[in-house]
Amino acid sequence: MNTVKVEDLWVRVTYEVKLGDLEIPKDVYNEIEKASEECRDVEMNEGRYVNAEDWLSTKIVEGDCMQWKCEIIDLVAET
State the DSSP H helix or E strand holding residue 9, giving kind and residue range, or none if neither: strand 6-16
Residue 31 shares a structural domain with residue 2:
no
Q: How far apart are CA 17 and CA 39, in angstroms?
A: 18
Give the total residue count for the chain: 79
Residue 26 shares a structural domain with residue 48:
yes
Task: State the pTM of this model.
Answer: 0.73
Residue 35 shares a structural domain with residue 48:
yes
Domain with 38, as residue range(s), is 22-60
Report pLDDT for 61. 85
Q: How far apart are CA 61 and CA 19, in angstroms?
A: 10
Q: How far apart are CA 49 and CA 30, in angstroms?
A: 9
Torsion of CA 15, 18, 24, 30, to 10 degrees: 60
Residue 54 shares a structural domain with residue 75:
no
Residues of the chain below pLDDT 70 = none
